[in-house]
Structure 1
Amino acid sequence: MVVLLSVGAPAGAQTRDIAGLPSWEVVAAPAVGEFTNRLAGVYAASPDAAWAVGSALGRAAGGGQEHRTLLQRWDGRSWSQVTPPALPGGRVAQLGAVDGTGPDDVWAVGVATAPNANTVTGQRTVALHWNGRDWTAVPSPNRGFPDDNNRLLGVAAVASDDVWAVGELDGSLSGGGRASILLHFDGTGWRAVDHPCGAGLRAVSASSADDVWAVGANTACHFDGSSWRPARPAAPVAGRRLDLAGVAVLGPTEAWAVGRTVYGCGERVCTFGEVQRWNGAGWTTFATPGVDVRGVHAVAPDDVWAISLNDGLLHFDGTGWARVPAPRGVLEDITAGGPDDLWAVGATSGGSPSVAQIQHAASAGTATVVGGTNHAGAVISWTGPSSGSVPVRNSFGHYEIVALPVGTYDFIVTAAGCAPQVRAVTVTAGRIIRQDFTLSC
């Protein structure tokens, strides 16, 4: 059993009720190579068809480290590693994003690098396609000089003959600068598209052929079916730089962009989470408890999920954002095959090397219990199918217990100088359950 106690003020100060939302649990992910494994993108076509992509480091035959490709498939029962297609020149795909139109039409994009992990120049774009039977590498354009680095960071599949990919050119090693890459697949091949979207595109999403958004460093750009046009995001606080990293589109009047604002704070560089909403006329900023928000997926206007570097999972219920308890990890992307079929991927936090992590909701055999007390020094204990205790350390009396096995429990709250309280709590799989306590002291 995994137990998490929130000790920070953002969680304790949370006022939005998250009871009834899906609870999250870790699902076993295959390991590739002896060193770091990191998943960066996930796509779910149905409850028994999903893909997660990323990169890993393994031990090279002659010593040192070499790149490996993470290309992992969910079949409704378990995740398994799939052999990636061979790339020209023996290159290795480090994948950063995945999307599709269904189980038999999936795209994964990223960067093709030399196998040796010490080679840092000449990186090329890579686009892999799944047709329901095999993965194949489809040639994709590059910009700049041979030593420049090209990489794709986002992909959005509208139809089998309508797919967009975005990324960036880093020409600094050859004396050049940075520029955005915007590619389109028309059913026969990929081509580069001229655009006015600025540098640093990082993510793309579409609701239809004439409603596509791409976002990046201080930029948001919209495609209406005929041309791309900038639609400037809401300006950050003076002195901060806006860096958008994720976008999700539900329709012409409903889209979300997430990322961070960056600013100097003393001798350090600090970040603050940024969430913006498009209403058909402009972008507005929403308050969020997250820091460095990296990924977003919209199921419905009142059911939007996002990932924050320090705060894990965030949820929007139609009126505001709240942090959602989840197993500890550094998550990168989130998707849904349906309202109660959610996947989030990334890597474990702490320890070395990091291991790829996959989380799923609604959880199959566990649930999350949250609540509050009127005493910051209380201790929450439970007995039943499992037993344990957590101290309530923050000043708001908030507690969280993640991945608690299903069953009936006795919850007991104690504090010095107070009469203990006991509550019977029935834990049912898949949902967040709330149990509050008021102590008489």
Structure 2
Amino acid sequence: MSIKNPLRITAGVSLALLASVFSAPAEAGQSNKSASVSVAEWEVVEVGPEGSGEGYDASVATISGDVIAQTRTQELTHDFRCWNGSDWEEIEGVTASDGTEVDATGLGGVSCSDFYMFGDDGKRWHWKDNSWDQGAATGHRFPVRMVNAFAPDDIWATSPVGEEVSHFDGDTWTKVSIPAMDNLDAVVGTSKSDLWILGEIYSTDELVAYHWNGVSWNKAPMPVSSDEFSAPEHATATADGVYVFGTRADDGYLHWDGESWQHAFLPEAWDDEYVHGATHANGTLWLNLYTTALRLDDGAWTEAAYPQIGNPCGSLTITGIATDRRSATVFGFGSIGGECNPQSALIRTPTA
């Protein structure tokens, strides 16, 4: 779906020219590489060099509010950028002992100076004191895809395939027993005594949800079956409960309101879209639909269209969103130009 804004960055107009027209000093969340351009709900922080093949593979908010993103180049090298609240830090990726680059399958932690990367090599890597440790086996049979960090001594790592969960208590990583299910699709919560896991039972087409209260797992009835709702993939916890989204927008979403799970729907105008992440900031729920965003305020959904940036080969697509909770700034990580002229792109919501 093509989104048009009052201010459009047209094809053939360079960011350098736009910067001369919309010149502004760097503010919170802006890179020094380019000036910010305000477009409706979003500001363009920077766009990578044309044809560079750069992009972003993953993004996550940490406990402190710092935001980490894994970058990707045309040569398939994987480094990290981390927003520390005032600037972007560049962090070199992990190189295994045989010289190969390690790609992140899961990412999360405390801050830019203290986080974990779970790699496609089956190891857990810790970035601490400006260096990577030697890596340790995760103990999981399959890759860790989800990392939920609530405190320095309360970090959860989950492998959806194999239904394996580990917990870090500040000293040791320990495997956690969970109720039986055929696929662990989503993990979301606020602490080690408030955690939800959602999955499926293939034989009965049942969608299941269990809540961990710090002592035991308790099952909650679900309003839909797995036939009626695509596998839960994106979840976020807000002040008014937990929101879970499947792959397709037309499936709607699941909302835990503190007492029960409810099945609600997005506006029909976005039924054909696919969900690519959810986050929240200051009571607003943000939903990434890849080519545009929706926001939920006081029970009403509205569109927060992504800016249009000039590239003859394709418009902006956002693959991940994450929030700096200190300033309630939402960052969007993506690319423009498709395969013929790929460029990385970083946007954010304006700060006060």
TM over 0.5: yes
Q: Which amino acid counterpart does residue 319 of structure 1 have in structure 2?
A: G
Q: Does residue 1:322 correspond to 2:302, yes or no?
A: yes
Displacement of 1:111 after TM fit? 2.4
Larger radius of gyration: 1
CA distance in 1, matches of 2:83, 2:327: 18
8 Å Cα contact 1:293/1:309 also seen in 2? yes
Displacement of 1:348 after TM fit? 3.0
8 Å Cα contact 1:55/1:95 also seen in 2? no
1:50 corresponding residue in structure 2: 67
CA distance in 1, matches of 2:128, 2:195: 23
Displacement of 1:94 after TM fit? 1.9
1:295 corresponding residue in structure 2: 277
CA distance in 1, matches of 2:252, 2:337: 22
Displacement of 1:330 after TM fit? 3.0
Displacement of 1:25 after TM fit? 2.0
1:313 corresponding residue in structure 2: 293
1:131 corresponding residue in structure 2: 128
Q: Which amino acid counterpart does residue 69 of structure 1 have in structure 2?
A: H
2:253 corresponding residue in structure 1: 275
Q: 1:143 to 1:308 in 2, by over 3 A?
A: same
8 Å Cα contact 2:108/2:149 also seen in 1? yes
Larger RCO: 1 or 2 (CA < 8 Å, sep 6+): 2
8 Å Cα contact 1:153/1:203 also seen in 2? no
CA distance in 1, matches of 2:106, 2:349: 20
Q: Which amino acid counterpart does residue 246 of structure 1 have in structure 2?
A: H
CA distance in 2, matches of 1:54, 1:36: 7
| Secondary structure at 1:130 match in 2 | strand
Displacement of 1:226 after TM fit? 2.3
8 Å Cα contact 1:24/1:359 also seen in 2? yes
CA distance in 2, matches of 1:215, 1:335: 23
| Secondary structure at 1:68 match in 2 | coil
8 Å Cα contact 1:27/1:360 also seen in 2? yes
CA distance in 2, matches of 1:127, 1:187: 15
Percent sequence identity over matched residues? 20
1:165 corresponding residue in structure 2: 157
Displacement of 1:362 after TM fit? 0.9
CA distance in 1, matches of 2:266, 2:251: 7
Q: 1:298 to 1:77 in 2, by over 3 A?
A: closer
CA distance in 1, matches of 2:174, 2:236: 24
Displacement of 1:156 after TM fit? 1.0
After superposition, give the CA deviation of every residue in 1:342-374 in whole Å (9 maximum; x if it has no partner): 2122333634464433221116xxxxxxxxxxx
Equivalenced residue count is: 299
8 Å Cα contact 2:67/2:324 also seen in 1? no
8 Å Cα contact 1:30/1:80 also seen in 2? no
Displacement of 1:284 after TM fit? 1.0
Q: Which amino acid counterpart does residue 274 of structure 1 have in structure 2?
A: G
2:214 corresponding residue in structure 1: 225
Task: Name the TM-score, length of structure 1 as normaliser.
Answer: 0.58
Displacement of 1:129 after TM fit? 2.8
- Within-5 A mapping of 1:29-178: 35=53, 37-43=55-61, 49-53=66-70, 55-58=72-75, 67-75=76-84, 79-112=88-121, 124=122, 126-131=123-128, 133-136=130-133, 138-144=135-141, 150-169=142-161
CA distance in 2, matches of 1:347, 1:4: 16
Q: Which amino acid counterpart does residue 53 of structure 1 have in structure 2?
A: Q
8 Å Cα contact 1:152/1:166 also seen in 2? yes
Displacement of 1:242 after TM fit? 2.1
Displacement of 1:273 after TM fit? 4.6
Higher-strand-fraction structure: 1
1:26 corresponding residue in structure 2: 44
8 Å Cα contact 1:197/1:228 also seen in 2? no
- Aligned CA RMSD, in angstroms, stands at 3.4
Q: Does residue 1:341 correspond to 2:314, yes or no?
A: no
After superposition, give the CA deviation of every residue in 1:125-184 in whole Å (9 maximum; x if it has no partner): x4333335334354243445xxxxx22221111222221011234xxxxxxxxx223221
What 5-or-longer segments of structure 1 have no aligned partner? 7-20, 59-66, 113-123, 145-149, 170-178, 262-270, 364-429, 431-441
Q: Which amino acid counterpart does residue 81 of structure 2 have in structure 1?
A: Q
CA distance in 1, matches of 2:127, 2:89: 15
Q: 1:274 to 1:70 in 2, by over 3 A?
A: farther
| Secondary structure at 1:212 match in 2 | strand
Q: Does residue 1:245 correspond to 2:233, yes or no?
A: yes
CA distance in 2, matches of 1:287, 1:247: 15
8 Å Cα contact 1:155/1:165 also seen in 2? yes
Task: Name the TM-score, length of structure 2 as normaliser.
Answer: 0.71
Which residue among 230, 252, 259 is the counterpart of 2:246? 259
Q: 1:25 to 1:305 in 2, by over 3 A?
A: same
What 5-or-longer segments of structure 2 have no aligned partner? 6-38, 201-206, 308-315
Displacement of 1:324 after TM fit? 0.9
Q: 1:132 to 1:223 in 2, by over 3 A?
A: farther
CA distance in 2, matches of 1:331, 1:339: 22
Q: Which amino acid counterpart does residue 258 of structure 1 have in structure 2?
A: F
| Secondary structure at 1:187 match in 2 | coil
CA distance in 2, matches of 1:54, 1:189: 29
CA distance in 2, matches of 1:69, 1:335: 22
Displacement of 1:215 after TM fit? 3.6
8 Å Cα contact 1:197/1:221 also seen in 2? no
CA distance in 1, matches of 2:216, 2:171: 20
CA distance in 2, matches of 1:143, 1:106: 19
After superposition, give the CA deviation of every residue in 1:205-249 in whole Å (9 maximum; x if it has no partner): 33122012234564433221123344354315x954521111112
